């Protein structure tokens, strides 16, 4: 036999495809644990394992096949209701998935596959055979099924169903030319023989009861099409096995069925006995097959009659034409009259399933099963609508779009100048602004489109959590329900990648430190099972992810005491903190609250790392907690990290970009609003006081008169308002910087519930900026997170809002002013 020689790419495909299936499996299995009766889910799980097994078998990954096969077997049994998936069964199934995953890791690493744990395989196999954990359910359905089989056997085998006309004498009336041959079949067909025999018997039984219905006028069309359909399937089976006589006889039934609707009562009366004869001949052949023999009789005459059914004279019952039919017609003389009051129940039990549907269609009026042809044709939904693209191509595309946005910005700037230049022809000026605005539109559509190609649903991350929580709960002996909402919320791929670890950490924290053990919960009057909700939603340019638990909550006093013990804060600082700020201390480096270090949440070194990681994504994290009631972690992440809308602000004669998503408003404070606390400037804004940071001081910009004059020569865009942090329109105040007041504007920035004002010289306008990372050594210079090219071709630094807040926090904590 030829060996398979596969392209190595096949293995890669296999790994990718199966990897996706495995991720889904984890998720589905955990879901299954709570809804073990969900057949659709069971089918999906079964299919996934089946696919993995099928492909693996081709790739000769026997060790993988064996475990997948065992798991598939167990699921198949669950699907057939042999047992109900309980916790123990689920443990085995999940372990099987783990083993499969481990084997995939081995394949990727180019290592040999290890033999799966024989014990696990044995247990799964036992489940598959109905002997496993939930074996009490075994056979629940089986008796019903076999009873059904017996019933259908009854109606067919030898004894006729109640009310059925007497079947004609068995064709085994000795002399009838019976011949027997040993059956010769290829192995693939021989394998199926036993199934065929069983199936033929069932089909014949059904045909028999349908034949009985033919004599009733209202039933006839339905019975006819049922017979045609059953006959058709019998024909196909016979054809497959090359049983020609069987095929010819089955065809007779098809012909009868197809014409039944149009035949007259009297013609039917003549045909019914022949049909019954056909059935009994078929049954005889089937009997032979069961003994691996091919039995046949001369059937030409009988078969011939069915091709001319319309010729059946009404009187035929009284005028036998051949020796074969004489016996049958004798029977029919009585059946024609006795048939009418039949036992309806017999028919009802047989006339079911798809043939029932067909009947309904055909009852309307006619003859063939063909009438429902149109049904399957007009379909729409094609499904293979996705292609895989290398991430690097998307990255390249996004970079190009970034460049395009920058060039577009420059074109807009030039077009504005042209449009404003009264010395140019009106026509030219109009065209310039027209071209510029359509370029603007197309570019932003393109940008959105490209960004969308990189968007992925959070489901990719969230999908892993049910398993995580389930395992944690078992390990910690807690009961935890995980509720996920908004898993279809999409964020940029790079965000998904970076968000994984922090979220896992937060979930672990909730499970480990938040949710109490069942006995504690009970004593507090809570339900024994704790709940962690993971809720994602879009909020303006952000995605908000909430991790809400109904556990013991975070006690701010406890946190601040711990923080003091560890020397993170001083008593004095604590005194000035709000509860929320105290809780925020868990994000301080080196803070750990777990009384015992557990292997679940680790040593608490994580929370500051979590915060850092989220901030790297230009996101924020906040805590809300009520002692005894639970904790909510609120993570906000921008949709994408590569392109952002920014407010361009002038500082001296330099221009900086401030991310719009951090700005809540821009004000021009009156002298009366300004003050200082602890030597640091602050601004009163309505009912609150916010720290003020001087941009010039932070960035070392020159604020002398010449600089201001130079700055004033570049023109601001005519933006008068823009959309800020919460998507609301924000008006831009008017005003000019003067040497006495070189920074008249305060850009109010927000992070969580904190705000600071950033004092700047000028407001220039809104721009899309593409973030270009800075080299590491430049990064040390000041609170900037990157650079971008402006629409006038110059370079601007992007203000790192988070660092501004850190500086403000340091100041209020009484540290020396940040450099």
Partner 1 sequence: MRILLIDDSKTMRNIQKSVLAQLGHTTVEEACDGQDALNKVGAFQPELILVDWNMPNMDGLTFVKNFRQTNKNTPLIMVTTESEKARVIEAIKAGVNNYVIKPFTPDLLSQRITETLAKRAA
β-bridge pairing 795-799 and 654-659: parallel
Query: How far apart are CB 373 and partner 1 at their closest, in Å?
Result: 5
Give the shortest CB-235-to-partner 1 separation in angstroms: 9
Binding status of residue 18 toward partner 1 by CB under 8 A? yes
- Note the Cα 153 to chain centre separation in Å: 45
What residues from 604 to 663 belong to the interface with partner 1 (CB under 8 A)? none
Q: Taking CB under 8 A as the criterion, which residues in 569-598 touch partner 1?
A: none
Distance CA 528, CA 702 (A): 64
9 makes contact with partner 1 (CB under 8 A): yes
Least separation in angstroms between residue 251's CB and partner 1 is 13
For partner 1, the closer of residues 207 and 451 by Cβ is 207
Select from 29, 33, 46, 747 the one that contacts partner 1 (CB under 8 A). 46
Q: Using CB under 8 A, which of 155, 210, 237, 489 touches partner 1?
A: 237
* Unique residue bearing structure tokens 């600082």: 573
Of 35 and 370, CB closest to partner 1: 370
Q: Given candidates 38, 41, 51, 140, which one binds partner 1 under the rule CB under 8 A?
A: 51
* Pairing between β-strand 620-626 and β-strand 630-638 as defined by DSSP bridges: antiparallel
> Based on CB atoms, which residue is closest to partner 1, 29 or 749?
29
Q: Name the strands in the sheet holding 754-760, side by side, starting at the edge strand that comes first in the sequence.
A: 663-667, 745-751, 754-760, 688-694, 680-685, 674-677
Nearest distance from C-beta of residue 488 to partner 1, angstroms: 19
Closer CB to partner 1, 24 or 664, in the complex: 24
CA atoms within 13 A on the CB side of 148: 9
Q: Closer CB to partner 1, residue 17 or residue 622?
A: 17
Is the CB of 376 or the CB of 525 nearer to partner 1? 376
Q: Which of 44, 81, 464, 533 binds partner 1 (CB under 8 A)?
A: 44
Cβ 369 to partner 1, closest distance in Å?
8
Answer for the pair 111, 83: CB distance below 8 angstroms, yes or no.
no
Question: Taking contact as CB under 8 A, which single stretch among the options 13-21, 454-462, 542-550, 698-706 is the one that binds partner 1?
Answer: 13-21
Instruction: Say how many Å lie between the first and final Cα of the chain, rounded.
Output: 78
H or E element that contains 604: none
Half-sphere exposure (Cβ direction) of 671: Cα atoms closer than 13 Å: 2
Task: Name 251's bridge partners.
Answer: none
Nearer to partner 1 (CB atom), residue 72 or residue 791: 72
Residue owning tokens 């629409």: 791
Count of Cβ atoms closer than 10 Å to residue 742 Cβ = 23
Q: What's the half-sphere exposure (Cβ side, CA atoms, 13 Å) at 2?
A: 3
Interactions with partner 1, residue window 347-406 (CB under 8 A): 369-370, 372-373, 375-377, 379-384
If one asks whether residue 7 binds partner 1 (CB under 8 A), the answer comes out as yes
For partner 1 (CB under 8 A), the number of binding residues is 53
60/424 with CB nearer partner 1: 60
Span from 3-11, 204-212, 397-405, 464-472 in contact with partner 1 (CB under 8 A): 3-11
Radius of gyration, CA atoms only, the chain: 40
Residue 491 backbone zone (phi > 0: left; psi -120 to 50: alpha; other: beta) = beta
Q: Which is nearer to partner 1, 46 or 805 (CB)?
A: 46
Element (H, E) at 497: helix 493-509
**Contact of 652 with 761, CB cutoff 8 Å:** yes
CB 604 within 8 A of CB 593: yes
> Which residue's CB is nearer to partner 1, number 240 or number 558?
240
Nearest to 545 by CA among 533, 537, 556: 537
Residue 445 is classified by DSSP as H
Nearer to partner 1 by Cβ, of 59 and 418: the residue is: 59
Q: Does 55 interact with partner 1 (rule: CB under 8 A)?
A: yes
Output the smallest distance, CB 5 to partner 1, in A.
Answer: 8
Q: Which residue from 181, 236, 561, 728 is in contact with partner 1, where contact means CB under 8 A?
A: 236
Q: Which residues between 194 and 233 bind partner 1 (CB under 8 A)?
A: 195-196, 199, 233
The strand pairing partners of 539, in sequence order, are 542
The minimum distance between CB 69 and partner 1, in angstroms, equals 8
Handedness of CA 416, 417, 423, 427 (dihedral sign): negative
Least gap, CB of 496 to partner 1 (angstroms):
23
Task: Determine the Cα–Cα distance for residues 471 and 459; give it in Å rounded to an integer.
Answer: 19
Question: Which string of x and - marks every residue 60-79 that binds partner 1 (by CB under 8 A)?
Answer: x-----------xx--x---
Q: How far is the CB of 195 from partner 1 (least distance, A)?
A: 5
Question: 532 has which bridge partners?
Answer: 482, 549
Between 380 and 816, name the residue whose CB sits nearer to partner 1: 380
Return the ∠ at Cα 278 (arms to 152 and 314), rounded to 5°.
115
Name residues contacting partner 1, limited to 72-131 (CB under 8 A).
72-73, 76
- Residue selected from 30, 45, 50, 653 as contacting partner 1 according to rule CB under 8 A: 50
In angstroms, rounded to a whole number, what is the distance separating the alpha carbons of residues 309 and 302? 11
**Closest residue by Cα to residue 461 from 497, 486, 505:** 497
Which contiguous run of DSSP H or E holds residue 549? strand 542-549
Is 187 a residue that touches partner 1 (CB under 8 A)?
no
Task: Name, in order, each residue with C-beta under 8 angstroms of 12's C-beta and a sequence gap of 6 or more.
Answer: none
> Binding residues for partner 1, per CB under 8 A?
1-7, 9-10, 13-14, 17-18, 44, 46-47, 50-51, 53-55, 57-60, 72-73, 76, 186, 188, 191-192, 195-196, 199, 233-234, 236-237, 240, 369-370, 372-373, 375-377, 379-384
């Amino acid at each position: 036999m030829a060996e398979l020689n596969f392209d190595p790419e096949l293995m890669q495909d296999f790994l990718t495809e199966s990897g996706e299936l495995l991720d889904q499996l984890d998720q589905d299995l955990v879901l299954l644990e709570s809804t073990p009766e969900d057949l659709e889910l069971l089918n999906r799980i079964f299919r996934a394992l089946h696919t993995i097994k099928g492909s693996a078998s081709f790739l000769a990954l026997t060790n993988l096949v064996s475990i997948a096969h065992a798991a598939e077997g167990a699921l198949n049994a669950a699907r057939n209701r042999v047992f109900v998936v309980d916790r123990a069964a689920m443990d085995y199934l999940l372990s099987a998935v783990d083993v499969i995953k481990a084997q995939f890791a081995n394949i990727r690493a180019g290592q040999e596959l290890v033999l799966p744990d024989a014990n696990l395989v044995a247990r799964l196999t036992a489940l598959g055979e109905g002997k496993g954990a939930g074996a009490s359910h075994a056979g629940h359905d089986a008796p019903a099924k076999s009873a059904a089989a017996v019933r259908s056997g009854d109606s067919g085998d030898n004894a006729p169903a109640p009310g059925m006309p007497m079947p004609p004498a068995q064709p085994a009336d000795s002399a009838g030319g019976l011949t027997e041959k040993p059956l010769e079949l290829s192995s693939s067909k021989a394998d199926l023989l036993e199934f065929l025999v069983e199936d033929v018997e069932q089909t014949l039984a059904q045909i028999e009861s349908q034949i009985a219905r033919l004599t009733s006028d209202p039933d006839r069309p339905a019975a006819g099409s049922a017979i045609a359909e059953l006959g058709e399937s019998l024909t196909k089976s016979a054809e497959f096995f090359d049983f020609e006589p069987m095929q010819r006889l089955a065809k007779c039934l098809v012909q009868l069925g197809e014409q039944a609707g149009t035949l007259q009562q009297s013609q039917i009366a003549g045909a019914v006995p022949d049909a019954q004869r056909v059935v009994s001949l078929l049954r005889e052949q089937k009997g032979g097959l069961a003994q691996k023999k091919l039995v046949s009789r001369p059937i030409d005459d009988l078969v011939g009659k069915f091709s001319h059914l319309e010729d059946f004279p009404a009187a035929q019952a009284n005028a036998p034409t051949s020796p074969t039919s004489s016996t049958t017609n004798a029977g029919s003389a009585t059946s024609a009259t006795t048939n009418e009051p039949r036992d309806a129940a017999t028919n009802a039990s047989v006339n079911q399933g798809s043939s029932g549907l067909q009947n309904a269609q055909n009852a309307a009026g006619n003859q063939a099963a063909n009438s429902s042809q149109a049904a399957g044709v007009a379909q729409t939904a094609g499904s293979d609508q996705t292609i895989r693209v290398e991430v690097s191509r998307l990255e390249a595309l996004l970079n190009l779009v970034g460049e395009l946005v920058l060039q577009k910005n420059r074109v807009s700037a030039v077009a504005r100048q042209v449009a404003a230049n009264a010395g140019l022809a009106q026509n030219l000026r109009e065209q310039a602004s027209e071209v510029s605005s359509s370029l603007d539109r197309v570019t932003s559509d393109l940008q959105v489109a490209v960004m969308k190609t990189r968007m992925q649903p959070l489901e990719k991350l969230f999908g892993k959590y049910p398993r995580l929580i389930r395992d944690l709960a078992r390990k910690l002996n807690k009961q935890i329900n995980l509720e996920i909402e908004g898993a279809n919320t999409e964020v940029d791929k790079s965000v998904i990648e970076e968000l994984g670890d922090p979220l896992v950490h937060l979930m672990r924290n909730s499970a480990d430190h938040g949710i109490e053990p069942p006995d504690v919960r009970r004593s507090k009057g809570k339900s024994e099972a704790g709940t962690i909700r993971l809720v994602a939603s879009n909020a303006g340019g952000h995605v908000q992810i909430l991790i809400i638990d109904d556990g013991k909550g975070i006690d701010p006093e406890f946190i601040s005491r711990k923080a003091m013990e560890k020397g993170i804060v001083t008593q004095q600082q604590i005194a000035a903190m709000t509860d929320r700020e105290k809780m925020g201390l868990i994000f301080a480096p080196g803070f750990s609250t777990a009384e015992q270090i557990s292997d679940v949440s680790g040593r608490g070194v994580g929370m500051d790392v979590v915060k850092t990681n989220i901030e790297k994504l230009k996101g924020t994290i906040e805590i809300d907690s009520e002692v005894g009631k639970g904790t909510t972690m609120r993570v906000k992440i921008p949709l994408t990290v590569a392109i952002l809308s920014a407010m361009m602000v002038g500082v001296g004669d330099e221009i900086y970009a401030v991310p719009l998503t951090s700005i809540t408003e821009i004000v021009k404070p009156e002298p009366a609003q300004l003050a200082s606390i602890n030597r640091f400037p602050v601004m009163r804004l309505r009912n609150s006081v916010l720290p003020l940071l001087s941009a010039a001081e932070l960035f070392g910009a020159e604020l002398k008169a010449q600089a201001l004059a130079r700055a004033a020569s570049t023109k601001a865009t005519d933006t008068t308002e823009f959309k800020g942090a919460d998507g609301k329109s924000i008006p831009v105040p008017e005003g000019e910087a003067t040497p006495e007041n070189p920074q008249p504007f305060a850009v109010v920035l927000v992070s969580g519930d904190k705000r600071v004002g950033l004092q700047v010289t000028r407001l220039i306008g809104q721009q899309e900026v593409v973030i270009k990372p800075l080299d590491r050594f430049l990064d040390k210079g000041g609170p900037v997170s990157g650079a971008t090219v402006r629409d006038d071709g110059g370079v601007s630094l992007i203000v790192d809002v988070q660092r501004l807040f850190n500086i403000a926090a340091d100041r209020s904590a009484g540290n020396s002013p940040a450099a």
